[in-house]
Chains A and B, each alone.
Chain A
């Protein structure tokens, strides 16, 4: 558990602190499968071109597989390449699986007496428990402390879709779809509700980008903002896979943080009717 926590902290560092916010994504070869013993190959990458592997692999130790009963599944035939991580999941149970990346942690910035800007954790630094108290001067000038969380989910279903893996953790930014995420079809608009620390929240910025970027001249992004009930409505323009990223920030943070921010990422597949 301790090991997992430190990984999460490290990831919290690695994700939002990157100089350029790159896009993180997990792409299953299929999301709807049949049969008693199907297999699915999953790719995971960091790249701005959706869904083309051209930058960096999303390392497997950030990811986990959640089985339909909520237990942890296995990544098989795992391989990390130059531009992507690849693994297989053997869907031995019927129902909905999830590939998950979940991280959160504190971060801080301040000014020294000489006016130099400082940050914690530093680039590539892996924070240990107690580091915040040790490494951040609590009386520093312009001290800003934030708590950020990043959650990435991708769903895969063998047989009938189930809901266990869809349950909210009530931590960070999360999404609930009015239709099961493995039951999306063109011509069937869905309502997506976004929750921050378990509460439906207004003002979440949502961007949805259809696959196939290489074959067009624009991102063709759908940009939405949640209403007072935390909802956006999405009418899928075409069948295919979509990358969704939602971001939210406010000042309703728990001490010592003064801001809380959440990022939620999902890959959704919409089938043609």
Chain B
């Protein structure tokens, strides 16, 4: 088994080069809240290179409205805002989207994986909810991966379980 796993990716790499369909996907949970006044959380998913500090945005979910009023609360995802958000012009094609209701979501980060140089990274998920709280989760990983792997983190307030899957 081990031999097979090791051999096949190497062969694929040799054949297809570094732009083979290496991918990253995130599954995250937005928990149900038993509260009188509920607003859907703003959520940012991004990857940061540990050396260069360069940020690659995966997804930003916020209230997109005609008058731009929803952008007023982007800064409440305060780490994302500092690391990336404040230098961006919203919305961003392929990254920004509407807020989601409670539930489990799969987010494909192939567009992020395609931009990553080899190195050490952290993947962050930050959530902030009006009349609610703010929570930050992160996992460390090296890119590229040699074999498929899965990393998890557990949210306690604004986020549920976070699972990040990497495929070479």
Q: Which of A1-42 contact B (CB under 8 A)?
A: 20-21
Partner-contacting stretch, out of B4-12, B15-23, B81-89, B128-136: B128-136
Bound form: Cα–Cα A153–B157 in Å: 32
Given known pairs A21-B37, A54-B72, the reply for A217 and B131 (CB within 8 Å) is: no
Q: Which of A211-226 contact B (CB under 8 A)?
A: 217-219
Do the beta carbons of B72 and A48 come within 8 Å of each other? Answer: no
Q: Within 8 Å CB of A218, what residues of B?
A: 132-134, 157
Do the beta carbons of B133 and A48 come within 8 Å of each other? Answer: no
Q: Within 8 Å CB of A219, what residues of B?
A: 131-133
Q: Within 8 Å CB of B39, what residues of A?
A: 20
Q: Within 8 Å CB of A217, what residues of B?
A: 133-135, 157
Bound form: Cα–Cα A54–B130 in Å: 12
* Interface size of A as a range: under 10
Q: Within 8 Å CB of B72, what residues of A?
A: 54
Q: Within 8 Å CB of B130, what residues of A?
A: 48
- Chain A 143-178: CB-based contact to B (< 8 A → 1; otherwise 0): 000000000000000000000000000000000000
Bound form: Cα–Cα A217–B39 in Å: 16
Q: Within 8 Å CB of B36, what residues of A?
A: 21
Closest Cβ neighbor of A218 among chain B residues? B133
Highest count of chain A CB atoms <10 Å: which of B37, B135, B157:
B37
Q: Within 8 Å CB of B135, what residues of A?
A: 217
- Chain B 117-135: CB-based contact to A (< 8 A → 1; otherwise 0): 0000000000000111111
Do the beta carbons of A48 and B157 come within 8 Å of each other? Answer: no
Q: Within 8 Å CB of A48, what residues of B?
A: 130-131
Bound form: Cα–Cα A48–B133 in Å: 12
- Chain B 145-166: CB-based contact to A (< 8 A → 1; otherwise 0): 0000000000001000000000
Highest count of chain A CB atoms <10 Å: which of B72, B131, B133, B135:
B131
Q: Within 8 Å CB of B133, what residues of A?
A: 217-219
Bound form: Cα–Cα A189–B135 in Å: 31
Do the beta carbons of A20 and B37 come within 8 Å of each other? Answer: yes
Closest Cβ neighbor of A247 among chain B residues? B36
- Chain B 27-42: CB-based contact to A (< 8 A → 1; otherwise 0): 0000000001101000
Q: Within 8 Å CB of B37, what residues of A?
A: 20-21
Q: How far is the CB of A263 from chain B (nearest CB, A)?
A: 12
Q: Within 8 Å CB of A21, what residues of B?
A: 36-37
Q: Within 8 Å CB of B157, what residues of A?
A: 217-218
Bound form: Cα–Cα A226–B135 in Å: 31
Bound form: Cα–Cα A122–B134 in Å: 35
Bound form: Cα–Cα A48–B134 in Å: 15
Bound form: Cα–Cα A141–B116 in Å: 62
Bound form: Cα–Cα A218–B72 in Å: 19
Closest Cβ neighbor of B130 among chain A residues? A48
- Chain A 27-66: CB-based contact to B (< 8 A → 1; otherwise 0): 0000000000000000000001000001000000000000
Bound form: Cα–Cα A219–B131 in Å: 7
Highest count of chain B CB atoms <10 Å: which of A48, A217, A218, A219:
A217
Closest Cβ neighbor of B158 among chain A residues? A217
Q: Which of B24-67 contact A (CB under 8 A)?
A: 36-37, 39
What are 5 A-B residue pairs whose CB atoms fall within 8 Å in the complex? Answer: A20-B39, A21-B36, A54-B72, A217-B135, A219-B132
State the 9 A-B residue pairs at the shortest beta-carbon distance, nearest first: A218-B133, A217-B134, A48-B131, A217-B133, A48-B130, A21-B37, A219-B133, A217-B135, A218-B157
